Chains A and B, each alone.
Chain A
Amino acid sequence: MADGAAPVLDVRGLKTVFRTRGGEVHAVNSVSFHLNPGELLGVVGESGSGKSVTMMSLIGLLPSPPADVRAGSVMLGNRDLLKISAEELRNVRGAKVGFVFQDPMTSLNPVFTVGNQIMEPLMRHMGMTKAQAQIRATELLALVGIPDAAARLKSYPHQFSGGMRQRVMIAIALACDPDVLIADEPTTALDVTIQAQILELVKDLRKKLGMAIVWITHDLGVIAGIADRVMVMYGGQVVEQAPVRALFSNPQHPYTRALLKTIPSLTGDRAARLQVIEGQPPILIGAPTACPFRARCPQAFARCESENPDRRSLDGRPVGQGHDVACHWSPRGAHA
């Protein structure tokens, strides 16, 4: 999609804080990104980097307390999701924004039939009668590649395999034809062959339905295969954002570089040990005053201790549009 088109989702300065006994955990810190129509944005980062929390903050899925979305705006079309009432937000969830979660084994309610669970949002958001919803649910199951869809509506989740359940989750998320699909590590809990099938399915559905997708993962291989644009998160912040090719060919942030080095190579020397990023992810208690990656960063210098870097553009285009990075250091050696 052309960058000129109005984004379907535009998030600016999102801040989410968890109030805990140990203090305030700044899980999402001034995250801004946008999503163009029909685009697939990959969000990468290690566990605890704030990927899922960011996405759940958007549509009010975090339990509050302890979570508190402090600042920012989340424009979906021309509405700010952080300003509308809980009831209006419910009308958005499941209708305009579909969500697929990580673990298909536990994400479906075990005591209701699959059909019931797909039909629920249809009757809630589309005003369908039970009979209409049933027809649509059958279509959806067929769409996500479940054979004998009409009969399978009456099955319970435990009668499905993990991959099939994730297909059902996708059917639920897509039921009301959403503008945005948020997939939170949808293939992490699946084995590799099923992963590949789900990836193919999503690619295929994207072609057919044209929704925009946010794909959260820590699998860079998956991102390389399906994303248009990639956002790398660390310590609750966006550290680098770029079109997928630019990111893989010219990574700028030391974390992104380290992350790419951790992918084991199939060619070359077998004797080489697996690359790791030394150290632990940061504890995010208190508002950040320094770069969150400084403790593990090979390039860290004095300024990284005293100042949390802002995102800066690398290709002259506005931040978020082209390739940008949040780092004081530059590979050319010049300190920005």
Chain B
Amino acid sequence: MLTFTIRRLLLAIPTLLFISLVIFLLVDFAPGSPMSQIPLTVPPEVRLRIIEAMGANEPILVRYLLWLKQFFYVEPLVLIDSLFGTSHAEGMQRIVSWQSRSPVMDIILERMPQTLTVVGSAYVIGVIIALPIGIYSAYRQYSWFDQVGTFISMIGFSVPTFFTGVVLILVFSVNLGWFPSIYDTSLRVTSWETFLLQAKQMAMPVAVLALYNASQISRYMRSSMLDNLGQDYVRTARAKGMAERIVVLKHVLRNSLIPVVTVIALGIPTIFGGAIITEQVFKVNGLGALLINAIQGSDLPMVQTLTFIFAVLIVLFNLIADVLYGMLDPRIRYD
């Protein structure tokens, strides 16, 4: 397993380099200019100076290699510096956002907590709800619980989050006034009251995303359980006189979790990607909102860096899913 992991990690390097190049080219070929948001009253020679100052006039290869150096060399050094108080990165050029002129990594770190609290807790809650529902639905297939559960999950799965989000805002913010419709990032949890406020403003975006995640995962869980409940080994376990609880929660569940764990692990990078649309609907200024703004402003370094980080996470969690698969299923041995 260890050699497999190391081999996969090494293989990830060329993969990621290739991905970074593709992203860079795509972003660069996309229409739009970093100047599009500068007022037309700014004279052309000044515009040219701005472009030169940003380095946007350099050949694409130079910009790509520069970005690579900044991402893989300068930024880690900056991280080391901030962790240990050293000054290795002094005087080096970091990746700088064209829009805000501040380092991309600082902005990302600033936005990360909002996304992780909202989207992350929605994912965790979704998984926690989904697993028992999926298990019980399958065990009592075609019962009223299963019928209701399957119906709700079908709705949760097929209705887009921007729709459920707006419906929730209409009902709970506009009509009932229970929850705020706008997420206040500046809120700091310092007391019970602020904690309640935070819980209130998280409630709706978390509910929307958790419903979506739970619908998806409970469907996987249910179908995987159904696949296994009919297997011969289940009959064997019953013939041994094992209690139903052990038959279902040990024998069947352990087998059913194999594909579901993979799905859950592969879903984690999407948390970091932020639920772009939901963040927009509830005005959570997390990573998703950051990416949208950067795309609109043709902020190439920001788009490039964010997209690449998502790519890294996807590759990483793919590997984690594979390793988990091998741990859960003894028939899979990679070495």
Contact = CB atoms under 8 A, between A and B. Distances in A.
B238 A61 contact: yes
Contacts of B254: 109, 111-112
Contacts of A107: 232-233, 235-236
Nearest to A125: B241
Contacts, number: 74
Contacts of A172: 236, 240
A93 B235 contact: no
A111 B241 contact: no
B63 interface: no
Interface in A157-216: 158, 169, 172-173
Contact of A158 (B240, B241, B255, B330): B330
Q: What class of interface size applies to chain B in its complex with A?
A: 20 to 34
B2 interface: no
Contact of A109 (B237, B239, B243): B237
Which of A90, A95, A111: most chain B Cβ within 10 A?
A111
Interface in A44-81: 59, 61
B240 A94 contact: yes
Contacts of B255: 109-111
B330 A106 contact: no
Label chain B's interface by main secondary structure. helix
A81 to B, nearest CB: 12
B290 to A, nearest CB: 42
B233 A99 contact: no
B329 interface: yes
Nearest to A65: B142
A93 B240 contact: yes
B33 to A, nearest CB: 56
Contacts of B330: 110-111, 156, 158
Contacts of B251: 109, 112
A156 B326 CA distance: 14
Given A110-B255, A111-B255, A156-B330, A101 B240 contact: no
Nearest to A104: B232
Interface string B245-257: 0100001001100
A41 to B, nearest CB: 19
A59 B237 CA distance: 13
B307 to A, nearest CB: 38
Interface in B295-332: 328-331
A156 B330 CA distance: 7
B331 A120 contact: no
A120 B242 CA distance: 8
Given A109-B251, A110-B255, A110-B329, A101 B232 contact: yes
A260 interface: no
Top 5 A-B residue pairs of the complex, sorted by shortest distance between their CB atoms? A94-B241, A93-B241, A99-B239, A94-B240, A106-B232
18 contacts: A61-B235, A61-B239, A93-B240, A93-B241, A101-B232, A101-B236, A106-B231, A109-B236, A109-B251, A111-B258, A111-B328, A111-B330, A117-B236, A120-B246, A121-B240, A121-B241, A121-B242, A169-B236
Given A93-B239, A106-B231, A109-B236, 14 more contacts: A61-B238, A93-B241, A94-B240, A106-B233, A109-B254, A110-B233, A120-B237, A121-B240, A121-B242, A124-B240, A124-B241, A125-B241, A156-B330, A172-B236
